[in-house]
């Protein structure tokens, strides 16, 4: 089966610092990756995605980096704010349109 | 307007009962999904429908039966509920299957006693 794992289950950062959340995936044939944010009591919310033909994509305060050589994905959040506190999931999608989610990293922003 | 809605939000029931969770999306999307999230926050896809046709059916007990009366609705019926079915169930939709942003509903917390 597929395996998407996160290196750190919890992460605490000071407000204003940058956050980096890491994710390892196992299927080298996966061609699409997505980061989701889930706040307490809510459904996951799409943050940013990246295709396997790219190694970097930027959004508003977020950057996703993809290293296909080591099958590693990261989400960088610039100037982390208290509203960024949530659980973050990476997901890989293979060529059969099957989604596999990681176990999540809980980000806590310390004011 | 709520993009993806689910009912009920909370569902508490006894083992062996049959229950349904309803999902509706008003985004005009072609694809809808059901996910299960366990107590450790692990999120696993269960089913995916594209234009009322089943396209993904992960290894899920056949006690779970999705039904899509039209492309805006994807309901989940569960027969003979078991303790291990307790989880939060999320419905989601996307414009295209397997690509692009998925919009998730608020979740249905199912507790089986």
Distance CA B84, CA B38 (A): 9
Size of interface A-B (CB pairs under 8 A): 54
- For residue B1, the model assigns a pLDDT of 63
- For residue A4, the model assigns a pLDDT of 58
Task: Give the chain B residue nearest A102 (alpha carbons).
Answer: B42
The answer to whether residue A107 scores a pLDDT higher than 90 is yes
Distance CA A102, CA A25 (A): 8
Q: Determine, for residues B99 and A32 on separate chains, whether the beta-carbon distance falls below 8 Å.
A: yes
Task: Give the chain B residue nearest A30 (alpha carbons).
Answer: B98
The answer to whether residue A6 scores a pLDDT higher than 60 is no
Q: Determine, for residues A43 and B92 on separate chains, whether the beta-carbon distance falls below 8 Å.
A: yes
The answer to whether residue B57 scores a pLDDT higher than 80 is no
- For residue B53, the model assigns a pLDDT of 82
Contacts of B57 (CB under 8 A, 6+ apart): B46, B47
Q: Which residues of A touch B48 (CB under 8 A)?
A: 97
Band of residue A1 on the pLDDT scale cut at 50, 70, 90: very low
- For residue B89, the model assigns a pLDDT of 98
Distance CA A42, CA B37 (A): 12
- For residue B40, the model assigns a pLDDT of 83
Closest CA to A71 of A35, A16, A36, A29: A29
Strand blocks (E) in chain A: 4-6, 10-14, 19-25, 32-38, 45-51, 56-58, 62-67, 72-77, 86-93, 99-101, 105-110
Q: What digits encode the pLDDT tens for the residues A14-68? A: 999 999 999 998 888 888 999 999 999 999 999 999 999 999 999 999 999 999 9
Distance CA A78, CA A94 (A): 29
Residues of B near A (Cβ–Cβ under 8 Å) read: 4, 33, 40-45, 48, 55-56, 58, 90, 92, 97-107
Q: Determine, for residues A93 and B98 on separate chains, whether the beta-carbon distance falls below 8 Å.
A: yes
Mean pLDDT, chain A, rounded, equals: 89
The answer to whether residue A70 scores a pLDDT higher than 50 is yes
Mean pLDDT, chain B, rounded, equals: 91
């Amino acid at each position: 089966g597929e395996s998407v794992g996160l290196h750190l289950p919890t992460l605490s950062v000071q407000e204003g610092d940058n956050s980096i959340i890491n994710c390892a995936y196992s299927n080298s044939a996966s061609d699409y990756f997505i980061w989701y944010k889930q706040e307490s009591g809510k459904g996951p919310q799409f943050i940013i995605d990246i295709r396997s033909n790219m190694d970097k994509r930027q959004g508003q305060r977020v950057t996703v980096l993809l290293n296909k050589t080591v099958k590693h994905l990261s989400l960088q959040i610039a100037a982390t704010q208290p509203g960024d506190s949530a659980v973050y999931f990476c997901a890989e999608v293979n060529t059969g349109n099957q989604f596999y989610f990681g176990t999540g990293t809980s980000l806590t922003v310390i004011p | 307007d709520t993009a993806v809605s689910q009912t009920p939000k909370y569902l508490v029931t006894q083992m062996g009962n049959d229950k349904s969770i309803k999902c509706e999306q008003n985004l005009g999307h072609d694809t809808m999904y059901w996910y299960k999230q366990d107590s450790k926050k692990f999120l696993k896809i269960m089913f995916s429908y594209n234009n009322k046709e089943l396209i993904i059916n992960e290894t899920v007990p056949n006690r779970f039966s999705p039904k899509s009366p039209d492309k805006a609705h994807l309901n989940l019926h569960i027969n003979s509920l078991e303790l291990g079915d307790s989880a939060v169930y999320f419905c989601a939709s996307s414009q295209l299957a397997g690509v692009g942003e998925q919009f998730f509903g608020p979740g249905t917390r199912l507790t089986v006693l």
